[in-house]
A and B are shown apart, each in its own frame.
Chain A
Amino acid sequence: MADLECRDLRKAYGGHVVLAGVDLTVPEGTLTAILGSSGSGKTTLLRIVIGFVVADGGTVSIDGKLATDSGGTHVRPDKRAIGYVAQEGALFPHLSVAQNVGFGLARAERKRGSRIGEALDLVGLARGYADRRPHELSGGEQRRVALARALAPRPALVLLDEPFSGLDAALRGETRAAVLDALAGAGATAVLVTHDQGEALSMGREVAVLRDGQLVQTAAPDTLYRTPADLDLARFVGDAVVVPGVAREGRVVCTFGTLDVRGDAIAGAVAVMIRPEQIRVMRSADAGGVPARIVGLSFYGAETVLQMELADGLGTVVAARTFDSAGAGAGDDVRLLVDGPVVTYPATDAKREGRGVAATPTAS
């Protein structure tokens, strides 16, 4: 297995910049998730790494060996020893499961068949699947076979392009776990491309967020979630409540009172970013915190999202998640308390959003 290093990758299609200088390092044996909305350039990045697309500039090195640079080096995709799991699996419909998995093996090894069995074991598929045809498999099984096929030739690096798209929620979780197990079992260095925040945060050792062709932040999932580099990013990786505030000496004063600030403190007018799960909703009037009134309520089963208007004279509406909503209804008076430190951003960010308006979380 090997590490992957991309330096200053650039790509434009007819004047439209898709990648504007991307630096990415994936340490050996780890999985990095590249998170981006559609059109962010994440698929292009993946295709440059594997060699289907030639970059306009920059370098890709795999295990220290140069695969692509602007000086004319361009190792062919089939010479890169990169495992690739395409969207929806892309199994060869004319071949059986065993023939699919054995496709990338040398003829002798393919005939022996032991590696095919090993690869099926890795992804947790019974060997009885070997003779089946792709169309006889469920969506989740197809993804697993696609991964087994990619892992069978013992690639230096595995790339997964939205490998769980089109699977229903239950199958998604199960397939995700199987994929993580298989990658860990193979000790593979992997890059996963996805637009799903939950998928990126739960699967990546590191998550790299791509926006408008640039990596805005590359960090461990909890760092990314707790201290996003900017306000847009904060909203992209999770739900966020944003209110204006004034910061001084590592604390910030806002409509929720005086709060601790996580990370770099800025002085002066700031935008305060609070995660909805930090907001504790209390029914009793003497519990402290700031007063608010429930104006909306969305029930999701385990959790309930409450919309509440603060009694701050500005009519600020914030959302919070609660796991105990029994008896709560619109019009109820509650008190809100913010748990843990918050993140602040320069106030210009908040102004652009309008005065003190909170983002509305959506249940995922």
Chain B
Amino acid sequence: MSRRSARRRLGVPTGLLGACLVAALLVAVPVVVTVVQAAQGGFSVAGTAIGSTSTLTLLLHSIEVAAAATPICAVLGVGTAWFVERTTLPAPRLWAVLVVAPLTIPPFVTSYAWANFGPSFQGFLGAAGIIAFSYYPIVFLLVAVALRGLDPALEETGRSLGLSGRGTFFRVVLPQLRPAIYGGMLLIVLDALVEFDAFVGLKFQTFSFDVYAQYQLGFSTSGAAALSLASIALCVILLFGEARLRGHANYTRVSQGARRLAGRYTLGRATLPVIVAMAAVVAISVGIPVGMLVRWFADSSQAGLSSAGGNLTYLFPATLTSVEIGVAAAVLGVLLALPIAVAAVRHRGPVVTVLERTMYLSFALPDLVGAIALAYLASHWLHFLYGSFVLLVFAEAILFAPFAVVAMRATFGQLEPSLEESARSLGSGPLASFWRVTLPLARPGLVAALVLVFTFTLGDLSTTQVLLPVNLYTLGTEFNSNSSTVAFAAAAPFAAVLIALAVAAAYLLMSRFGTVRALATR
């Protein structure tokens, strides 16, 4: 078969394929550099780094945390999504906000808050708890979108075939949510394996600590790089596993005829227990960090603001820098993710799948290693980028681009391809069709992607610390430098502004651009 016909069979437009390739290559830069660094160290360095028993113990710690927290995330995410979207739970919109709220709280803030509860929370329990209760909203978001896309006729058919309400949930609804659940769990597992920020306040040591130690001890990047190869290998295994689990699940809805809105199940006497359970989840995920912040504030007012007062002059410039980095990273991250998200939905095939999966590789790299790799690259070959704002923004964008892909893919998947085809037949070119039809309809997903990348960038610590230009400081770095000296009262304002910013961004974007007046034609 000639090359030309192979391309034709593939069916991915050349421009889109090119954009995907560029995005995937850019995102893979830290991984490539890390592999090169590890290779430069040679086998001996890599061997000692990977082979030491402490490394294995710490790697095991990370795997244990991931294994414990991820299923909890799945249960919490699916449960909350089901109650909010499909039952008569009072005030569902308020609950939706409360459930998503943990995403706006930087992991390092949560970390110090849990640590404050005492030594028992500074070990495995704290680590797994922080991951579970900080990241379950990812599953919630994906499952909520999937639930909205479900055809209620399927559930009705299930009931008509003699299934109970519970049976319908487990045998009809849950199987259809599988792609969303697995997708969310994959992100959480990968994150948990290389998490650093969420454990800064704990005494619990994980794989990323080892990497950090390697880096700090000898300033030996190749040792840290060699270690990261282990996490990349784990990531590749997980990606394959998820692909096999997901199987041939189709994301594009192939609906025929009118689709009704799904009804809500009456909770009845279960209302109160469900509210209590939801409240408990929110209390743990939001209450602990926010409550701790309030306490720190109270402490600081008692202390007469003397210690905090000096720091407050940094508050405004730090806020400004954080917002600048966050906005720039959100825009760049979404731009990188956009072609992959479109291709993954519209032109599913082996090439696109590989490119899509490449996005996750950098995600599986410990943040610190990725940041060091970029710094290394800049210092050796791209000197003009070294220590620059651009490099930091780039690092944040590629780090969180997978979230943008996931957020956008769901909405693109719900758009009928015939809409774009109609636009093409009316004389609009591929780009014009995308601009005039696809983009306006996919706006909710686009906005969600922007908010996610912005929020995660605000809450990032490790990458920022490595790549932040010397004369700048952000809310995160200020919080951390204060809290490391156990001056929590001084740190509190920075955390409060961080959370307020994330909430404001989410609210502003969602309310102004997040809705499309009529998504359903039929």
Query: Chain A: residues with CB nearer than 8 A to chain B?
Result: 50-52, 54, 56, 72, 76-84, 86-94, 103-104, 133-135, 139, 142, 146, 149-150, 153, 159, 166
Contact = CB atoms under 8 A, between A and B. Distances in A.
A43 to B, nearest CB: 11
B248 to A, nearest CB: 15
Contacts of A84: 421-422, 425-426
A312 B427 CA distance: 64
Given A78-B433, A84-B421, A133-B518, A93 B441 contact: yes
B425 A166 contact: no
19 contacts: A52-B424, A78-B424, A78-B426, A79-B427, A81-B427, A82-B425, A84-B421, A92-B423, A92-B437, A93-B441, A94-B517, A94-B518, A103-B428, A104-B425, A135-B521, A139-B522, A149-B422, A150-B426, A159-B425
Interface string B401-439: 000000000000000101101111111111011001100
B134 to A, nearest CB: 35
B425 A78 contact: yes
A83 B419 CA distance: 14
A93 B516 contact: yes
Contacts of B421: 50, 52, 77, 84, 86, 90
A89 B521 contact: yes
Contacts of A103: 423, 426, 428, 436
A87 B437 CA distance: 17
Contacts of A52: 421, 424
A90 B433 CA distance: 14
A26 B71 CA distance: 60
B511 interface: no
A169 to B, nearest CB: 15
Given A50-B425, A93-B520, A104-B426, A86 B436 contact: no
A150 B428 CA distance: 13
Contacts of A135: 518, 520-522
Interface of B: 4-5, 8, 256-257, 416, 418-419, 421-430, 432-433, 436-437, 440-441, 516-522
B422 A86 contact: yes
B432 to A, nearest CB: 8
A76 B426 contact: no
Nearest to A51: B424
Q: Which of B427, B428, B517 has the largest number of chain A CB atoms within 10 A?
A: B427
Given A52-B424, A103-B436, 17 more contacts: A50-B425, A51-B424, A72-B4, A78-B428, A78-B430, A82-B425, A84-B426, A86-B418, A86-B421, A91-B521, A92-B419, A93-B441, A93-B516, A93-B521, A94-B518, A104-B427, A166-B257
A91 B516 CA distance: 15
Given A89-B521, A134-B518, A94 B441 contact: yes
A166 B418 CA distance: 16
Q: Which of B419, B432, B433, B521 has the largest number of chain A CB atoms within 10 A?
A: B521
Given A72-B4, A84-B422, A134-B518, A90 B427 contact: no
A104 B428 CA distance: 7
Task: Please name the 6 residue pairs, one residue from A and one from B, whose CB atoms are nearest each other, closest first.
Answer: A104-B426, A84-B425, A90-B418, A86-B418, A77-B424, A93-B521
